[in-house]
Structure 1
Amino acid sequence: MPTSEPPQTPPPPELSEAQPPHTLLDLIIGVLSILLLSSLTVRSFVGRWQVIRSKLCTLQSSLSSISESPHWNDNSLLHTLFPSLLSTLQRLKALSDQCTLSSFAGGKLLMQSDLDMASSSLSSKLHDLDLLLRSGVLNQSNAIVLSQPRPGSDKDDLVLFIRDLFTRLQIGGIEFKRKALESLLQLLDKDEKSTAVVAKEGNFGYLISLLEVNSQPLIREQAVLAVSILASSSEDSRKIIFEEGGLGPLLRILETGSIPLKENAAIAVEAITTDPENAWAISAYGVSVLIEACRSGSQPTQIHAVGALRNVASMEDIRMALGEEGAVPVIVQLLVSGSTATQEKAANCLSILASSSEYFRALIIQEKGVPRLMHAIQDSLSSDTIEHALRTISSLSVTDSISRIISSSTVFIIQLGEFIMHGNMILQQISASLLSKLSISDGNKRAISSCMCSLVKLMESPKPVGLQDAAVQAIVSLLTVGSNRKELVRDEKSVMRLVQMLDPNNEVVSKKYPLMVLTAVLGGGSDGCRKRLVAAGAAKHLQSLTEMEVAGAKKALHRLARSRFKTIFSRTWRD
């Protein structure tokens, strides 16, 4: 029985890698030529060898293209790729010798396995060579290591650098990958222009593959950081990362990764879910990962995990999962235990949930959310946190028990008055609107009487929509107290503003607003209030508005005149 030839032993990798690329190319071409001939004379597994021969022909073409490139010999990637390719071809040469003799020491099954593995390895090398050729870096004289493009470099230089970078990332070993990722991170740190070109020219699919747990730890950490930066940079980048399947690996990292990995993964997940179409996909993985990250994650992780929950809360069809999975207690807790940024996003999330349904309002109330919201309003220095907390309380105030609690809180009512006087326009509107809906005591109304002047001023602002209505309703509520009516008319600026708003020539403010306030001021029948309004010219404008049949003008004029006649009658009776 004939014995099979032992397979040829490839040269040790260290010897192959020590050879210059042109020497390795000569060796590769020599072995390839023999293989192309021997693949035609094999007696066994002819079908498999036909497939391998097709790949060898493709390899021959690729090697020809490489040798024709002006600077191929300078490319350091070939120092890694050529030795590995030579080893694969030498292995195939040994297998072809055995198949020519139709004698296999290990049997047919082992030979089939060896051929399939060698063929797969050849396919991998062909892919790498094709990638290298398509990148265009072999045509560059500085292809050994392309340097970071300088500020002001043209787009072509930037594109070439990015292609070279991703080529090294995919073809090279761990050191090549590490340096390529370092270059990528430096580039992403430069400017938006560079990031946009990376989004267009980079291979995001391969970058995302590096997020998997089988990647080398440092490589994985750099890849997660790069993905988080790209996800935060633009809508286009987020879309590509999502379409390339990045959300799943990021959520797995958020669940089981190290602290640095979790922090960067949370940044990426929050950024990706800002797009509603992407936020939908969270339902496929479940929101429990985000909730747990909020409960037990580091402070940076909590900031972005609760931000992702906020994004999910905006999606009506998957919002219910937040309640079912126990998100509300965790989010409410973050109001008092989280950082400033965490509190702001937690308050925002609660405001979305509270405005959505009675179900979530009940959950927030059950978790003692109202006192924590009021505490956040009192202690926070962030106007955004205060805004979201006020919106949440406003939504919760539709419940009678909550309305009574906040109406009886002098501290809270005084805070509303302060926001009306000194807050930004959004805080002023929310505070005025909330104030107008509450049933507060006369004592608390007197306590915030100083905000009436600010409310009158807000009546002149047509934007944002609803501000004038809120301001008028709030001031009318405060004017049910006699001392507040007197205090308002003692303020000359406020009286002049009201009278100017009554002027028929003033088209900026709807006449219904000043008429409502004027009617409320005159409702107590104070002669002092009437005198000040008459002196400021209110009667003249009211007369004109009455003749124009403006709604409410006749009633206000009647009250102003009745007060005057009452005074005249009183003096006549005394005389």
Structure 2
Amino acid sequence: MPDQMHPTTATSDPPQEQPPETLLNLITNVLSLLLLSTITVQSFIGRWQVLRPKLTSLQSSLSSLSDSPLWPQNPLLQTLLPSLLSTLQRLLSLSHQCSSTSSFLGGKLLFQSDLDIASSSLSNHLHDLGLLLRSGVLHQSNAIILSHPGPGSNKEELVFFIHDLFTRLQVGGAEFKRPALESLLQVLNEDQKLASLVAKEGNIGYLIGLLDFNNQPSIREQAVSAVSILASSDGESRKIIFEEGGLGHLLRVLETGSMPVREKAAIAIEAITDDPDNGWAISAYHGVSVLIEACQCGSQVTQTHAVGAIRNVAGLEDIRMALAEEGVVPVIFHLLVSGTSAAQEKAADCVAILASSGEYFRTLIIQEKGLQRLMYLIQDLSSTSCTIEHILRAISSLSVSDSVSQILSSSTALIVHLGELIKHGNIISQQISASLLANLSISDGNKRAIASCMGSLVKLMESPKPVGLQEAGALALLSLLTVRWNKKELARDEKGLMKLVKMLDPRCELIDKKFPVMVVDALLSGRSGGCRKRLLAAGVFQHLQKLAEMEVAGAKKALQRLSENRLKSMFSRTWRE
């Protein structure tokens, strides 16, 4: 093709310094010549036939671009148009070679490679231009980044802002990506309620792609921060991040990233695995060893969230076995002893989950001297109430072993502390402590030592929730009442006794009557004349009568004991008279 087909420019300035209107005219001229050239090529005809629809599509996109009145003011085009012009000029030069019969310099393979590279570049430009047109950002004059939507912004304004922001992420170079990410982070930090809208309207897949290590470290760090905030904000955002493959990218960042990005990645991983439907993917992405290593070598922040992620997936059988094979138990106990307060709480929860998962894991915990550590930690005044609750659950699960039960039963310090937790712990700690006391074989001396918690056990019996609390309180109280001295102590507690009698009232429907009946029966058993007198004086007789008529379990037996004593008292009084 003759040389006159090469376009001439109106100025000698480099393409980057040309006005947008001039660049568009140059691109249109080159494109027209290139479309004609594709008809006359004599070599690589198949490849040019594939290229022609792309060129036609580009012509249509450029027409749409020129119809947008404010397009010259968009800064993204200052990068896109010069690059597009360069690609088209390269393709035009290649088409000239294919239109002549001369041999190809460097050979056909090299020429074919050059043609494929230019074609790929054209596809990228088409994608970016199409993205700009679809986003609607060319219909508004804007600076590098749109001004942030104010508190009163409507959804349409917010959606436009998000579209503009993600357009700059995908089309612009680093000079556009950094401020776009900064703007995204600012918006998310100011109002995390926007996270679901960002996740829905933005290209989260592209944002996750920025976590790749081929990107500049500063851009990758900003992207990790944005993903971390989105994952921590709400379930919908977490779901979208997971579906876009974000967990795998985050695990790679956690494994090989710098300390700041590892911390952000750990936060996001814990948030994503908090959804039970996502946890299985930890194994699919080979993340078990990554999380354990993060617990060992990461910063305190990384450790805290990595152990949180392990806690989240420890309930899944396959992953639980992989955790055990990777040596998770000693790592978890190390954090339980020496980690931050938050790490200790999550580690304790993890131990509790493992301890409840079967004999295999209970054996692993005991082999690591886990029982002794748990018994020590439960008395640590610096432990939070939630940490104590998890430790109690772990101890309770371990206690199913006869050897563990014997150790626990013989520990006066533990028994006394359980009594204190019943008096002063939260409701869950009270329930677990009461259940432990009921199931352990405690000496009479230790039972007497914790008699002061009996009033609290009576109070637990008044609460219908959580499920099992009334039973735990009653059974623990029954265990303590096998000691005669404790019976007298409870009978002398007027407040506790009145609560017990009130629970027997048939009109009190929230109480399962069999539990207060069991306690009254225990008070009446053996030589307990003083207890009988106090119960009668408190009005227990009439309630037991009604409960016996209602055939409540144990009511007739308790009433019979109470009545026998009443008759004995009457005969004794008559004889004395």
Q: What residue ranges of structure 2 are gaps of 5+ in the alignment?
A: none
- Deviation, 1:45, is 1.5
Summarize deviations over 1:149-175 as a string: whole Å, max 9, x none. 111101111111111111110111111
3-state SS of the aligned residue for 1:278?
Answer: coil
Partner of 1:382: 384
Partner of 2:120: 120
Bigger shift: residues 12-21 or 53-62: 12-21
- Deviation, 1:247, is 1.4
- Deviation, 1:28, is 1.1
Partner of 2:251: 251
Distance in 2, matches of 1:142 and 1:117, equals 33
Aligned equivalent of 1:492, options 487, 494, 502: 494
Distance in 2, matches of 1:543 and 1:14, equals 107
Partner of 2:344: 343
Q: 1:66 to 1:481 in 2, by over 3 A?
A: same
Q: Tell me which amino acid in the other structure corresponds to 1:228.
A: S
Q: Tell me which amino acid in the other structure corresponds to 1:326.
A: G
Distance in 2, matches of 1:547 and 1:60, equals 94
- Deviation, 1:568, is 5.9
Aligned equivalent of 1:545, options 547, 550, 560: 547
- Deviation, 1:179, is 0.8
Q: What residue ranges of structure 1 are gaps of 5+ in the alignment?
A: none
Partner of 1:165: 165
Q: Tell me which amino acid in the other structure corresponds to 2:401.
A: T
Tell me the TM-score normalised to structure 2 length: 0.95
Partner of 1:314: 315
Q: Tell me which amino acid in the other structure corresponds to 1:408.
A: S
Summarize deviations over 1:384-411 as a string: whole Å, max 9, x none. 1111110010000011111111222222
Tell me the TM-score normalised to structure 1 length: 0.95
- Deviation, 1:27, is 1.3
Summarize deviations over 1:178-200 as a string: whole Å, max 9, x none. 11111111111122442121011
- Deviation, 1:572, is 7.6
Q: 1:113 to 1:504 in 2, by over 3 A?
A: closer
Partner of 1:19: 18
Contact 2:254–2:265, Cα closer than 8 Å, also in 1: yes
Contact 1:419–1:427, Cα closer than 8 Å, also in 2: yes
Partner of 1:207: 207
Aligned equivalent of 1:454, options 448, 452, 456: 456
Is 1:352 the counterpart of 2:340? The answer is: no
Aligned equivalent of 2:514, options 512, 515, 519: 512
**Correspondence 1:1-80 to 2 at 5 A:** 15-80=14-79
Distance in 2, matches of 1:352 and 1:282, equals 18
Would you identify which runs of 4 or more consecutive aligned residues in structure 1 move more than 4 Å? 7-14, 564-575
Summarize deviations over 1:368-396 as a string: whole Å, max 9, x none. 11122223222244111111110010000
Is 1:140 the counterpart of 2:140? The answer is: yes
Q: 1:171 to 1:408 in 2, by over 3 A?
A: same
Contact 1:294–1:302, Cα closer than 8 Å, also in 2: yes
Q: 1:91 to 1:11 in 2, by over 3 A?
A: farther
Distance in 1, matches of 2:86 and 2:517, equals 93
3-state SS of the aligned residue for 1:468?
Answer: helix
**Correspondence 1:408-427 to 2 at 5 A:** 408-427=410-429
Distance in 2, matches of 1:334 and 1:312, equals 17
Q: 1:11 to 1:441 in 2, by over 3 A?
A: farther
Taking every aligned residue pair, what percent have the same amino acid on both sides? 70
Partner of 2:185: 185
Contact 2:431–2:472, Cα closer than 8 Å, also in 1: yes
- Deviation, 1:544, is 3.2
Q: 1:91 to 1:12 in 2, by over 3 A?
A: farther
3-state SS of the aligned residue for 1:277?
Answer: coil
Summarize deviations over 1:121-174 as a string: whole Å, max 9, x none. 111111110011011000113365311111110111111111111111011111
Distance in 2, matches of 1:10 and 1:552, equals 105
3-state SS of the aligned residue for 2:147?
Answer: coil
Task: Output the aligned Cα RMSD.
Answer: 2.4
Q: Tell me which amino acid in the other structure corresponds to 1:309.
A: I
3-state SS of the aligned residue for 2:378?
Answer: helix
Is 1:363 the counterpart of 2:364? The answer is: yes
Distance in 1, matches of 2:90 and 2:385, equals 69
Q: 1:12 to 1:96 in 2, by over 3 A?
A: farther
3-state SS of the aligned residue for 2:477?
Answer: helix
Is 1:81 the counterpart of 2:76? The answer is: no
